[in-house]
Amino acid sequence: MNNIKLFEEKQVRTHWDETEEQWYFSVIDVIEILTNSANPRDYWFKMKLRVNNNDGFELSTICRQFKLKAADGKMRETDIANTQSLLRIIQSIPSPKAEPFKQWLAKVGYERMQELADPEQSLARARENWQKLGRSQKWIQQRMTGQETRNKLTDYWKESGVTKNNDFALLTNIIHQEWTGLTVKNHKDLKGLKSQNLRDHMSEAELIFTALAELSTRQIAESDEAKGLQENAKASKKGGTIAKDARFALEAKTGKNVVTGENFLPPSKENKELK
């Protein structure tokens, strides 16, 4: 949740700059929210031309490029802007949501200062966001427990010489594919997800088995004293296999699939019209 903020239940990708101690926000995400544009990238491109022609000002000069997770799950460079720059961009967007969004920006900045002083508040806010999205208390607890398990695994990877984002994604995919039989991308496709976080749309059972796979991976890696990408990849496959065997055993007893296409997405406009 540290890299995703919610405005009216819509996601805004963010990046916290430790050096500057300020938030940066995905410009495309903000434009999509404020304009409801079907193609926010095209809107942003045309908007920069319009502002340059009318005011002689290059909006690109107050933005920077940073890699954020795209809809396909890959890290891609996109325009980001800090609060001050984003306020300048919002001035050029005719939208009734502009003023509420400005207030939201101020709130996000204030909350971050609170979290730095008291990290527990970050967990409380994550819980609050999931509650707003309609998740049950039982689901939220499992999601947070799973996140703690995930954090311990990534900490081990860092300490054992795995440092690149792509390598983290590779190891995660090995674990996931081993226990589910699906790549992370295929699992997202099954659930009809795009830019959404897969774990935020997992069932309680999927969260539990994901946590089992990652807990097993870390303990095996620690036992084997795995170092670097290759050795951790072997541990990841072993950890995923433990969760896979447990999944097969449960499915044999219940006759129900653990991995499903169920999600927490709101009903589509088409479904609402049909109703």
If one compares 70 and 274, the residue with the highest pLDDT of the two is: 70
C-alpha to C-alpha distance for 238 and 229, rounded to whole angstroms? 14
With a pLDDT cut of 90, the percent of the chain lying above it is: 45
User: Which tokens hold the place of 247?
Assistant: 């999944």
Residues 17-30, mean pLDDT to the nearest whole number: 82
86, pLDDT greater than 60: yes
C-alpha to C-alpha distance for 123 and 252, rounded to whole angstroms? 36
C-alpha 59: how far from chain center: 27
pLDDT at residue 116, rounded to an integer: 44
C-alpha to C-alpha distance for 3 and 13, rounded to whole angstroms? 6
If one compares 70 and 7, the residue with the highest pLDDT of the two is: 70
pLDDT at residue 82, rounded to an integer: 87
C-alpha to C-alpha distance for 186 and 182, rounded to whole angstroms? 6
3, pLDDT greater than 70: no
Helix axis angle, 204-224 to 228-254, nearest 10°: 140
pLDDT range class, residue 275, cuts 50, 70, 90: very low
Residues 221-247, mean pLDDT to the nearest whole number: 96
C-alpha to C-alpha distance for 146 and 22, rounded to whole angstroms? 28
* Residue extents of the structural domains in the chain: 4-126, 136-254
DSSP sequence for 23-60: EEEEHHHHHHHHH--S-HHHHHHHHHHHHHHHH---GG
Residues 234-253, mean pLDDT to the nearest whole number: 97
Residues 111-131, mean pLDDT to the nearest whole number: 58
- Using one digit for the tens of pLDDT, what is the confidence trace for 165-222? 789 889 999 999 999 999 999 999 999 987 678 998 999 999 999 999 999 999 999 9
Quick one: which of 12, 7, 1, 36 has its CA closest to 195? 12
pLDDT range class, residue 270, cuts 50, 70, 90: very low
pLDDT at residue 184, rounded to an integer: 92
C-alpha to C-alpha distance for 86 and 61, rounded to whole angstroms? 12
Neighbours of 153 (CB within 10 A): 27
Beta-ladder partners of 10 = 7
Could you tell me the CA-to-CA distances from 13 to 24, 25, 29, 143, 159 in Å, in that order? 9, 6, 7, 20, 27
pLDDT range class, residue 93, cuts 50, 70, 90: confident
C-alpha to C-alpha distance for 52 and 223, rounded to whole angstroms? 60
Q: How many residues would you count in the chain?
A: 275
49, pLDDT greater than 70: yes
pLDDT at residue 110, rounded to an integer: 45
Give the range among 50-64, 178-192, 225-239, 245-259 with minimum mean pLDDT.
Answer: 50-64
Beta-ladder partners of 13 = 4
If one compares 56 and 255, the residue with the highest pLDDT of the two is: 255
Quick one: which of 116, 20, 118, 107 has its CA closest to 64? 20
pLDDT range class, residue 100, cuts 50, 70, 90: confident
Quick one: which of 220, 237, 235 has its CA closest to 179? 237
Mean pLDDT, all residues of the chain? 84
Whether 139 contacts 204, CB under 8 Å: yes
Q: How wide is the angle at C-alpha 20 spanned by C-alphas 9 and 8, nearest 5°? A: 10
Element (H, E) at 240: helix 228-254
Could you tell me the CA-to-CA distances from 126 to 2, 66, 109, 230 in Å, in that order? 8, 24, 15, 34
